[in-house]
Structure 1
Amino acid sequence: MPIPQNAPTIDRRLLRDDVYRRLRDAIVDGTFAPGEQLRDVDLAAWLGVSRTPVREALLRLAEAGLVSAQPGRSTTVTSLSESAVRDARDVVAAMHQLAVRESVGNLTEADLDTMRQANRRFREAITAGDIEAALTADDELHAVPVTAASNQALATVLDQFTPVLRRAEVLRFSSVSGSASADRHDDLIQALADGDADRAAQIAAGTWSTLGPR
């Protein structure tokens, strides 16, 4: 497996979650391609950590469906299958629908402004073709109602299944349909500002449901 040479090492004091996020993001952004074999010793050298947090991260990635790992055999990056996208989409859509319902009444004007600013950055990134920046802004926008909902179980489920959809979003945000997502974000923010939980939940579910199999 060719290991990138330009990545900074992770501080050894950081938690295993940092290793997981680095490997997850490398799969989502295509640094590690579908079918590529991942060896814990190579990944540990790349990240500057021991093999233990890498092995733990690979197990979490397997649970999320991003890698296929079998005891005593190689670990490989999975392909983006239609069934995996469909299953993750339905779960993530339901969780975001619940999050916006539970966040209504908890969101402050500052929260709404954070979402507006994130959507402005999202729209600018889509126009510029900066997919990484678009994904970052999208994450920031949707994190606001999830945080306001204060539902740890909900957040845990999203953490597991959202990465599968992020791989599909790289494809969507590379196309003209990316601009439509910014418009849906505007509608969501307005519904939340109006305190219309039903409308906000409908928009939230619809936003993620558009990530259908390709």
Structure 2
Amino acid sequence: MAKPVAEQPAGKETGAARVYKMLRSEILTMTLAPGEALDEVSLAERFDSSRSPIREALVRLSADGLVTTLANRSTVVTPMELARVPEFLDALDLLQRVTTRLAALHRTPADLVKIRETYKAYQKGVATSIKTRVSLPMIETNHDFHMAVARAGRNTYFADLYSRLLDEGRRMLHLHLQFKLQDPNISAQEMGSDHTEILDAIERGDADKAEEYGHLHAVQFKGQFMEFMDRNLTASVPLNYRAPSREATTTE
């Protein structure tokens, strides 16, 4: 694998930040697959650095929930537990409803400015992702928008729980974009329509509509993601099936 180009020697902090940024991008876009081993020696060779910046980057990634240290002290990209995806999506729905509702009730003028800024950034991020077929701009700006909404609700417990769910769901969002990009006519406006409705309801202070739109947004994501998983998981299953003969199916 090619090493990142470094024009100038980097200090420990700069080196760790560089490693963190690149590995994080590769994990979120699933260039590094869930469960893939991350060996410090190999990474140090790849990034042409000592092992200290590698360790520091892995600690940051572990705090993000993107890598996991196993009992034998080896490090892997955090696996995606597909069996628990429905549970995750249900929890996301619940937290999204409550955070959008509370935002409509408690947002301040300063909150609205921040939410509008992140909304516009999301629209640009989606347009960039559609154009480049790289999901990271959409993933990052989606997180920023929803967290601006959550913080406007003035409940740190809900906001912290919601942040954890959004972090865990970043790779699912990458897969979601891959599904959406199968439509050659997809537009940033269409993909951002749910966010538009949420923003409008919060601006009006309409808590019921904000909760409703938050719920619909989560349900749509759940349905499309499960459809994506169904298509791709079943597509890899071999069907060596031969219909029974007519004689075998005839009852006496």
What TM-score does the superposition give when structure 1 sets the normalisation length?
Answer: 0.72
SS of residue in 2 equivalent to 1:145: helix
Write the distance in 2 (CA, Å) between the matches of 1:9 and 1:207: 43
Q: In structure 2, what is the Cα distance between the partners aligned to 1:73 and 1:98? A: 39
Q: How many Å separate the matches in 2 of 1:148 and 1:67?
A: 30
**CA-CA distance at 1:39 after TM superposition:** 2.3
Q: 1:124 to 1:24 in 2, by over 3 A?
A: closer
State the one-letter code of the partner of 2:201: A
Contact 2:28 2:136 in 1 (8 A): no
Q: CA offset at residue 191 of structure 1? A: 0.9
Aligned to 1:190: 200
**1:203 maps onto 2:228 in alignment:** no
Which shows bigger deviation, 180-189 or 90-99? 90-99
Helix, strand or coil at the partner of 2:89: helix
Aligned counterparts, 1:46-61, within 5 A: 46=47, 49=52, 53-54=56-57, 56-57=59-60, 59-60=62-63
Unaligned runs of 5+ residues in structure 1 are none
Q: Give the length in aligned residue pairs.
A: 209
Trace 1:47-196 onto structure 2 (pairs within 5 A).
49=52, 53-54=56-57, 56-57=59-60, 59-60=62-63, 64=65, 66-67=66-67, 69-72=69-72, 74-128=74-128, 129=130, 130=132, 131-174=135-178, 175=180, 176=183, 179=188, 180-196=190-206
Instruction: Confirm or deny: 8 A CA contact 2:67 2:75 kept in the other structure.
Output: yes
The answer to whether the 8 Å contact 2:147/2:159 transfers is no
Structure-2 separation of matches of 1:18 and 1:91: 33
Q: Tell me, in whole angstroms, the C-alpha distance in 2 between the residues paired with 1:194 and 1:142.
A: 17
- Supply the AA of the counterpart residue of 2:157: A
Q: Give the Cα–Cα distance (whole angstroms) in 2 for the partners of residues 106 and 18 of structure 1.
A: 38
Q: Whose radius of gyration is greater, 1 or 2?
A: 2
Q: What CA distance in whole angstroms lies between the structure 1 residues aligned with 2:34 and 2:146?
A: 27
Q: Assess, with a 3 A threshold, how the Cα gap between structure 1 residues 113 and 58 changes in structure 2: closer, same or farther.
A: closer
Instruction: Provide the aligned C-alpha RMSD in A.
Output: 3.8
5+ unaligned residues in a row in structure 2: which ranges?
A: 230-252
Match status 1:38 vs 2:38: yes
SS of 2:72 mapped into structure 1: coil
1:5 alignment partner AA: P
Any conservation in 2 of the 1:35–1:79 contact (CA below 8 Å)? yes
